Structure 1
Amino acid sequence: MTQLFPLIFQSLKALVRPLTWQQAFFLVLSTFGTLAHADEQNPQVNIAIDVPSISVNHRGTEIKIQRIQDVENKLVDDFSKTSRPCPPFCIHPMEAADGVQTFGEIELLNFLQNEVASENGLLIDARMPEWYDSETIPTSINIPFIVFTQDSAKRERILELLGGVKKNPGEYDFSAAKHLCIFCNGPWCDQSPRAIRGLIESGYPVEKLAYYRGGMQLWKLFGLTTVLPKSNAVE
């Protein structure tokens, strides 16, 4: 955008005859359009040095995950808050449980491009449905944390859908289970840690679990793409 006015004046000088105000107006619009297209082709706010964006499949639709290009953009919603009452909204440790890997944004994006894309893994939004339906990370499915923390027929069904094979009451073979990355609202939210602990108590292998601690707050703070889904909760 810093090149905008030099480009306008160069264009004006190149014209032999004087411009009407209408012609000048459309010239300015054309220049803005050219620069906007250039920004699209050469984004100034990349995910990483050589990674402007990645593409993922969200419920049959290709979604480009990238960062908001407006360097003046600020959060204005609930995720802009710095402070919440503790308890219950206390800061959580980096590890949700022993042996469970903690992901940052780059690790999560790699997970989406590899495990999720190959159908060997799932990104799970462990928040309650009203949170999920308001906004989520592309490719995620909603399995509320309470499903994993309560004994029920629904939990048994979910564990089987995740690849667990029931051997005896309360006992599963998870050797073919999917790799899971689980998130919630952010480092102050306990929904995903509770889901992870519930899975471990059910016998789910810790090496197949990952915790995206930053959650929605950090994802949005980095200006990364979100989606507004119709409910995709696992019933």
Structure 2
Amino acid sequence: MKTFSIAPFSSVLGGCMIAALLLPLTLSAADNRITSEIESVEVMHNGELITIERGNDRNATLPEMYQKTDRGCPPFCVQPMVVVPGVETIGEIDMLGYLQRISEGDDTLLVVDSRTPDWVMQGTIPGAVNIPWNKINHEGGKTFAAPSAAESLVHILSDEFGAKQDPQTKTWSFDDAKTLVFFCNGIWCPQSSINIKTLNGIGYPVDKMKWYRGGMQDWVSVGLTTVEPD
């Protein structure tokens, strides 16, 4: 039987190997942090304080809805890393930062779940507002719940996003518009990227749009908290 001493593993690689061997024995449920610096993040969701943290079940697996690897393209094509030049692609830690800022009273931000309600009913990111992509876009000749894409988009831009339209010229001002953080199901989901492209097409500033490309699939893959609508 081989034995190991700590000295030969003084390098970073050796330290990581030892940590991996000891992990199941030394970590308690309370030690499953988001990062080494972040234990949890508290956010407001529909008037309720929700704690976003990682799960403590070492045998947990992805929900069945996110286990597929082949969904068919189109429509479920792999999205590019940059959806529109100038729109920042972000990760989980960035998303947590935006959510925390919103919960602390920053009303210049809005996290937008672009998915249709049937997906949202199965869980969303705490602090997100659901504005389905088909409330903004008409694509492929489909009939959507909104009376028309134009009417829906005007309402969302003014009432949800804080943009202002000149009643005479019908042009939009985005000076006071919110910074929007979009997500959907994952890198194979086009719903949030379509919204970003649509808004970019009407002049929404690229520096006021962020894109969480990994979406729900990446969020649940690291065990982060989700919430279901009432």
Please tell me the TM-score bracket, short chain as reference. Answer: 0.7 to 0.9
> SS at 1:152's partner residue?
helix
Post-superposition shift, 1:214? 0.5
Q: 2:154 — aligned with what? A: 156
Q: 1:131 — aligned with what? A: 119
> SS at 1:176's partner residue?
coil
Q: How far apart are the structure 2 equivalents of 1:116 and 1:76?
A: 27
Percent identity over the alignment is 39
Native 8 Å contact 1:124 1:143 kept in 2 = yes
Q: What's the TM-score, normalizing by structure 1? A: 0.77
> Aligned pair in 2 of structure 1 residues 130, 95: CA closer, same or farther (>3 Å)?
same
Instruction: Tell me the alpha carbon deviations over residues 213-234 of structure 1, each in whole angstroms, 9 at most, x when there is no partner.
Output: 010100010110000013xxxx
How many aligned residue pairs are there? Answer: 191
Question: In the TM superposition, what are the counterparts of 1:9-158 in structure 2 within 5 Å?
Answer: 39=28, 43-115=30-102, 117=104, 118-150=106-138, 151-158=149-156
Q: 1:202 — aligned with what? A: 202
Instruction: Tell me the alpha carbon deviations over residues 92-120 of structure 1, each in whole angstroms, 9 at most, x when there is no partner.
Output: 11111110001100011011112464122
> SS at 2:152's partner residue?
helix
- Unmatched tracts of structure 1, length 5 or more: 1-37, 231-235
What letter corresponds to residue 217 of structure 2 in structure 1?
Q
Instruction: Flag as ranges the 4+ runs of structure 1 deviating above 3 A.
Output: none
Deviates more, 1:197-206 or 1:162-171: 162-171
Post-superposition shift, 1:134? 2.1
Post-superposition shift, 1:44? 2.4
Post-superposition shift, 1:155? 1.0
What letter corresponds to residue 218 of structure 1 in structure 2?
D
> Aligned pair in 2 of structure 1 residues 79, 169: CA closer, same or farther (>3 Å)?
farther
Post-superposition shift, 1:76? 3.6
Post-superposition shift, 1:50? 1.6
Native 8 Å contact 1:115 1:179 kept in 2 = no
> Aligned pair in 2 of structure 1 residues 207, 72: CA closer, same or farther (>3 Å)?
same
Post-superposition shift, 1:153? 1.5
> SS at 2:181's partner residue?
strand
What letter corresponds to residue 134 of structure 1 in structure 2?
Q
Q: How far apart are the structure 1 equivalents of 2:134 and 2:165?
A: 20
> SS at 2:224's partner residue?
coil
What letter corresponds to residue 166 of structure 1 in structure 2?
Q
> SS at 1:124's partner residue?
strand
Post-superposition shift, 1:148? 2.4
Q: 1:213 — aligned with what? A: 213
Q: What's the TM-score, normalizing by structure 2? A: 0.78
- Unmatched tracts of structure 2, length 5 or more: 1-26, 139-148
Deviates more, 1:164-173 or 1:193-202: 164-173
> SS at 1:157's partner residue?
helix
Post-superposition shift, 1:77? 1.4
